[in-house]
Amino acid sequence: MGKAVQIVFKESYHGLCTFHIMQNAVKHLSPVKRNKEEKGGEEDETHNEEDKSEEKDEVSNILSDFSACMYGFEEKAAFQEAFDIMRCKVHKKTWLDSIYKVKEKWAECYMRDVFSLGVRNTQLSESFNNALKNHLKSDFDIVRFLKNFERTVQEKRRKELDEFESRKKMPRRQMSTPMLVQASQVYTLVIFEAFQSEYERSMAPCARVFDGDNKYAIALGSLRDNLSFEDERIVIGDPLNQKASCSCGMFNRTGILYAHGLKVLDLMNIKILPTHYPKEMD
């Protein structure tokens, strides 16, 4: 399929489903085996139980390391270093080496400029497959199969109708500001809720001018009781064109302006979303 996408959909980006990758990781990633000398000679039953517990912990750690390689690194050099360390922990490296060859299709640092609306797995297909599994069994005759299949389709249609109806309603705003009022009029309910969450996060960052008047370092603060800050992101403000370009690259991927950029727009006294940000306003 990957080869066909390159030929038929030449302008498309072909990514791999992260859900299925993690399922395969569970099957193929096992820790490096230790010999008996490292374990202290002969083993008794108690030691065997301890070894099994330690092996489970090691597997869990490897899977956590692999998940971090998938989502946790924005820079390619940091990804490569973490991947090399994880590779040394793995017993059989065949699958790991094969998935590494197509890292551009699943690793966060290689997909920073890919517009995917934040989707990283086959959500629609998996949800429908799961719905079918809940109503269908392999021993059903053709009549029972069709009845249960129709029931599943009706449930999907009802949910889609509910979503369609929700688009006619104004989203619920947590506060009234010109930007949120504007966003509630152009975004769907789901997109507006995601935008509103980022708008709220943009109210609690630390900001400083970084290497020039229109370049800022933004560290988002937690809205919880114990105030803490994330790593800084560099945002370049362009007051003339009313743009804020952030090093996190999230707008390029999701189509939603994230808190870093929203904060810089506010610092530039831009209180209404420019037309090049909400896609529906184009």
**Higher pLDDT, residue 82 or 111:** 82
Cβ atoms < 10 Å from Cβ of 16: 19
Confidence of residue 265 (pLDDT cuts 50, 70, 90): very high
Q: pTM, whole model, 2 decimals? A: 0.60
Cβ atoms < 10 Å from Cβ of 74: 14
- With a pLDDT cut of 70, the percent of the chain lying above it is 82
Q: What does the alpha-carbon distance between residue 163 and residue 131 come to, in Å, rounded to a whole number? A: 18
According to the model, what pLDDT value does residue 212 have? 72
Cβ atoms < 10 Å from Cβ of 43: 12
Residue 108 pLDDT exceeds 80: yes
**Higher pLDDT, residue 71 or 47:** 71
Q: Among 188, 139, 196, which residue's Cα sits nearest to residue 167?
A: 188
According to the model, what pLDDT value does residue 94 have? 92
Q: Among 64, 84, 76, 74, which residue's Cα sits nearest to residue 22?
A: 64
Residue 272 φ/ψ, nearest 5 degrees:
-120, 140
The model's pLDDT over 69-87, given as tens digits with 9 standing for 90+, comes to 998 888 899 999 999 999 9
- Mean pLDDT across 84-106: 92
The model's pLDDT over 7-23, given as tens digits with 9 standing for 90+, comes to 898 888 888 888 889 98
The model's pLDDT over 155-203, given as tens digits with 9 standing for 90+, comes to 888 877 877 776 666 677 778 889 998 888 888 888 888 899 899 888 8
**Per-domain residue ranges of the chain:** 2-110, 123-166, 178-281
164 close to 142: Cβ distance less than 8 angstroms: no
Q: What does the alpha-carbon distance between residue 272 and residue 261 come to, in Å, rounded to a whole number? A: 13
